[in-house]
Amino acid sequence: MDNHVYKPYPLVICPYCSSNCIESGGSKKYSLHDHFVKYFQCADIICTQCGKSLDWWDVVYKNILSANEPSTMAILGAESVAIKITMTPKEYKELSLVEYGIPEEANILDISYTHYAGDFFAVETDWYRPKWFPRPHVLKLYPIPNEEGTPEEKPFDVGVFVTWILGKADEVAWQNLIHAFRYYLNRNYEFAIIPANTAVESTLSRLIQNFLERFISKKKVKDYFGNNEAKYSHLLNILLPLSTKLKGITLLCDNIYIELDELRKFRNKMGHNGNLENPIDENKITRLLCAALFGFHYLKFIEPNL
């Protein structure tokens, strides 16, 4: 029987103790979305390890800025499985990730391998796939000798580290967020701008459309959106704060509004010119991605009451 270690929590690092700040140590699994909701409600967010009060914006920003795939993607809710398997030199092995707790509907974000002592290592037959291609949930592994000569044909161990994330109900917007973060990790900062903005813009457009249809005929609302009169800047800066205030819903923080509006402007430059006049620096794109993630969670937070 292969040994494996399953990490059931997204690895979100506490800036004070450097431990996983959302892991309870028990059977309860903390929801990342709940942490964003607490932030919007100005409620205390406490590290489950050191007990210190957390600024959730700061936690999210620093985890994204780490540019470490498990940690950066964990802030989206990505989880990881560390698997240790034993192979023999003449054995072809199929490894089903579902058997190690990864749901069939999960998106496989990254797979890395660790080879221990021995004269062989394992090669995945689909290794040539670009990282952004959908990864299979069954890995096909072949043993390859480490070097020329006559290797000692005895069993050898292989470590497989898999990072994955589940889809969301609002699949298109969520996939755009995932794409934005993956561009960021590859340091393609300009390419992260459009999907990050689209994730928020498309979600907000749907919410505002549904809100207006409660007071105005569906035809007029459809014409308003269909004739391109519903500018994103109007939705973001006028209709969103107006609708939430009318409904008595917690308003989005000003700093996030500012960053989302700047993200919108960067998106327009990319859409109109195909690139930015000046390269965007790491700190700036990190703040914009952070704002997009907070904006997405905020819209999910207010949707039931809007």
List residues bridging with 139 in a β-sheet: 95
Structure tokens at 293: 């993630």
Which parts of the chain have pLDDT scores under 70? 1-10, 24-30, 126-133, 148-150, 168-170
Note whether 208 and 235 are within 8 A (CB).
Answer: yes
Nearest to 301 by CA among 246, 254, 252, 263: 252
Site of tokens 């459809």: 222
Q: What is the pLDDT of residue 1?
A: 43
What does the mean pLDDT of the chain come to?
87
CA 137/CA 96 separation, integer angstroms: 6
Q: What is the pLDDT of residue 47?
A: 94
Structure tokens at 180: 């934005």
In the chain, count of helices (H) and strands (E)? 10, 7
Note whether 11 and 80 are within 8 A (CB).
Answer: yes
Nearest to 72 by CA among 81, 57, 58, 62: 62
pTM above 0.75, yes or no: yes
**Angle subtended by helix axes 32-40 and 282-302, to nearest 10:** 90
Edge-to-edge strands of the sheet including 120-124?
A: 93-96, 138-145, 120-124
Structure tokens at 242: 């107006």
Backbone angles phi, psi at 135, to 5 degrees: -95, 145
Q: In whole angstroms, what separates CA 138 from the centre of its chain?
A: 23
Q: What is the pLDDT of residue 27?
A: 45
